[in-house]
């Protein structure tokens, strides 16, 4: 039983998803792992959204506990941890791409590069493959 099974509001798939990843920060951490290739606590702290240290530590622990990311000791600096997406976390990629596509279509000022959007529209599978390989 995962830690969040006892706090489920309903068996609705959307509600269950929100119970796991519906906070303000979890998807931004996953975004940074995929698109910005961030891997350390300090790198996540440097993101534009200015996550606080206690929230970052909490979300990293939650994402690890729920199996979205893994944590290992940095072989070059034993005092640092390296965070990587698990297969479960990587399976969020198509949904994140849909979010990017929708936001770029409906919200002015979305900072998605036009080349990326064009590739998303015309060559989605290859884009997904390339993003996965870059991790």
* pLDDT tens-digit series, residues 102-134: 999 999 989 899 999 999 999 999 999 999 999
Domain boundaries 1-86, corresponding CATH code? 1.10.10.10
The answer, yes or no, to whether residue 88 has pLDDT greater than 70, is: yes
Q: Is pLDDT of 3 > 60? A: no
Q: 4 pLDDT exceeds 70?
A: no
Distance linking the first and last C-alpha atoms of the chain: 29
Question: For residue 121, what are the CA distances in angstroms to 21, 105, 107, 109, 125?
Answer: 26, 12, 17, 19, 10
DSSP state of 42: H
pLDDT band at 1 (very low <50, low <70, confident <90, very high): very low
Looking at the chain, which residues constitute the CATH 1.10.10.10 domain(s)? Answer: 1-86
Report the sign of the C-alpha dihedral through residues 119, 121, 123, 127, in that order: positive
């Amino acid at each position: 039983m995962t830690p969040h099974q006892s706090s489920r509001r309903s068996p609705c798939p959307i509600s269950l998803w929100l119970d796991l990843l519906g906070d303000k920060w979890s998807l931004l951490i996953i975004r940074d792992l995929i698109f910005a290739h961030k891997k350390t606590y300090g790198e996540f702290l440097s993101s534009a959204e200015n996550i606080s240290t206690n929230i970052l530590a909490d979300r990293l622990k939650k994402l690890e506990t729920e199996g979205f990311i893994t944590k290992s000791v940095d072989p070059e600096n034993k005092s640092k941890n390296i965070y990587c997406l698990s297969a479960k976390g990587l399976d969020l990629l198509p949904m994140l791409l849909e979010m990017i596509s929708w936001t770029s279509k409906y919200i002015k000022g979305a900072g998605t590069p036009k080349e990326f959007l064009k590739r998303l529209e015309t060559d989605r599978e290859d884009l997904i493959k390339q993003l996965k390989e870059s991790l």
